[in-house]
Amino acid sequence: MAFIVPLFVVALLVVAATWLWDYTIMRLLWRPYTISKEFRQQGIHGPPYRFIKGCKVDIKNMMEEADSLVLDVLNHNYLPRIAPHYLKWRSQYGESFLYWFGPKPRICIFDYELARQILSSKSGHFVKNDPPPTLVAAVGKGLALLDGIDWVRHRRVINPAFAMDKLKMMTTTMLACSQSMIKELDNQVSETKNGEIEVDINKEFRELSADVISHTAFGSNYKLGKEVFKVQHELVAISMASLLDVQIPGLKYLPTERNRRKWVLEKNLRSSLLQIIQPRLASNSNEYGNDLLGLMLQTSMATEPGGKEGSLRLSIDEIINECKMFFFAGHDTTALLLTWTVFLLSVHPEWQEKLRKEMQMVLLETLRLYCPALFMQRKPVTDITVGTTKLPKGVAVVIPIPIMHRDKEVWGEDADEFNPLRFENGVTRAAKIPHALLAFAMGPRSCIGQNFAMLEAKSVLAVLLQKFSFTISPNYVHAPSELFMLRPKFGLPVILRQLDVCN
């Protein structure tokens, strides 16, 4: 017995020393040193690594400084606001550079051919980069964050729910939600003497797209679905608030105020979703509903033709994660596409009339200039060479969509300008290379919801344009910001005018 205590202490010391060696010496010192050296030898340089912090403090400082920048409404080059660090390092170190997100290495590329090779890779060499744990809790480890055979299984279950015939049925819901928003606005305008009001259209679109995704994902359970949204929204905000903080190991387990709030929200989110999912599974009718959840449950419960029964099944937890993912991926993205489209139409009013005919071109140009999704990341699971660059295992590659969407070599000299006509001959002929529009990514991991988003945007705009014309409010401040997606920092106040009053 007398030996047990010293033995225990020795074991503890060995574990601590191993952890210290692996974490502090290998991960925080040796790996940054060897990776920097490896890239230097290939002629790829970048800002120096600083212990634990990497370049996070520099990024935070540059972002804070850039945040005070306000642009003219006709200036669509907001890169100095959202990516000052990338611009600075690109001019300092050249086309590809290495930087450090804490102790994690990232290489930023600007080359379309490299991006194509990485995004189209079907060999499983590239996986999604690790997202922050709070973000995973909020958005669920669903389709967008899975890899390998789990991703294949989920994508096969979810794909049928996004088939065009199913989505077309959902346009009725999209139109009904849009009409209800427009009616509300119309009532407000009717009460004014001059037939116009100022509204923050970004706020309106956020509520509308929450309504659309709650109805299309959860059908008759949409009210509960909207509650889920509110919780998820707060969890995402918590995750974003700590993204640029230096990560201290073990901090996430301590009962700090932020962590306690996070734990409560995570529990509430799970229990609300269970309240929606379990009754459907319990109904013996095999009718799970025509909404996204119902269609997912149907495929999940179906037997694969000629295959083993239930081989496509998702567990309850996996279904919960996919529900969280629908909400997260399907809500703000489309609301922002609509917001930035209305912004561009307000400052280029000649296109409001044309839009009635040319909706697709205007939406594509908005996705090019003001793409809601900003920076994609992939990391190789083994050492791999892409183009002439040797990427060591685990070094994440950043593909900066807004920078590439302004590449003058690819898009032409007017790349910074709003010109929907560049899409006149279709999306693949708009630039010098066919896959230049990366708004929905490309390759096997491209956006599953892209048709959903485009149908929703067209439904909303069609209804809005029938009733109103709009101009930008003098109160609008043009400050596009990166908060996981591209958002208008101070909303988008516009003046809505009833069309019949103007004409």
Which segments are annotated as binding site for heme? 447
Say if residue 4 is exposed, middle or buried (CB neighbours under 10 Å; 0-12, 13-18, 19+).
Answer: exposed
Choosing from 66, 83, 139, 329, the residue that interacts with ligand HEM (CB under 6 A) is: 329
Choosing from 63, 176, 224, 447, the residue that interacts with ligand HEM (CB under 6 A) is: 447
**Binding-site residues from annotation:** 447
Choosing from 96, 299, 334, 346, the residue that interacts with ligand HEM (CB under 6 A) is: 334
Q: Judged by CB, which is closer to ligand HEM: 363, or 415?
A: 363
* CB 217, min distance to ligand HEM, A: 7
256 CA to centre of own chain:
28
Token code pair at residue 185: 């606005």
* CB 12, min distance to ligand HEM, A: 41
127 binds ligand HEM (CB under 6 A): no
Say if residue 147 is exposed, middle or buried (CB neighbours under 10 Å; 0-12, 13-18, 19+).
Answer: middle
> At which residue do the structure tokens 């005018």 appear?
497
* CB 357, min distance to ligand HEM, A: 21
452 binds ligand HEM (CB under 6 A): yes
Choosing from 445, 478, 487, 497, the residue that interacts with ligand HEM (CB under 6 A) is: 445
- DSSP secondary structure code for residue 22 in this structure: I
Cβ–Cβ under 8 Å, residues 90 and 110? yes
Name the β-bridge partners of 353.
Answer: none
Cβ–Cβ under 8 Å, residues 46 and 446? no
Q: Judged by CB, which is closer to ligand HEM: 330, or 493?
A: 330
326 binds ligand HEM (CB under 6 A): yes
Q: Judged by CB, which is closer to ligand HEM: 439, or 492?
A: 439
* CB 372, min distance to ligand HEM, A: 5
The whole-angstrom separation of Cα 78 and Cα 370 is 9
Which residue has its beta carbon closest to ligand HEM?
A: 449
* CB 189, min distance to ligand HEM, A: 27
Choosing from 244, 312, 441, 483, the residue that interacts with ligand HEM (CB under 6 A) is: 441
**246: nearest Cα among 483, 65, 59:** 59
Choosing from 82, 108, 143, 397, the residue that interacts with ligand HEM (CB under 6 A) is: 143
Look at residue 432 and give its three-state secondary structure: coil
397 binds ligand HEM (CB under 6 A): no
**Residues near 102 by beta carbon (within 8 Å), at least 6 away in sequence:** 52, 53, 54, 56, 246, 247
288 binds ligand HEM (CB under 6 A): no
Token code pair at residue 66: 């850039």
Subset of 366-395 contacting ligand HEM (CB under 6 A): 371-373, 376
**437: nearest Cα among 424, 423, 448:** 423
Choosing from 127, 175, 182, 337, the residue that interacts with ligand HEM (CB under 6 A) is: 337
The whole-angstrom separation of Cα 142 and Cα 417 is 36
Phi, psi of 172 (to 5 degrees): -60, -45
Q: Residues interacting with ligand HEM, by CB under 6 A?
A: 143-144, 155, 325-326, 329-330, 333-334, 337, 371-373, 376, 439-441, 445, 447-449, 452-453
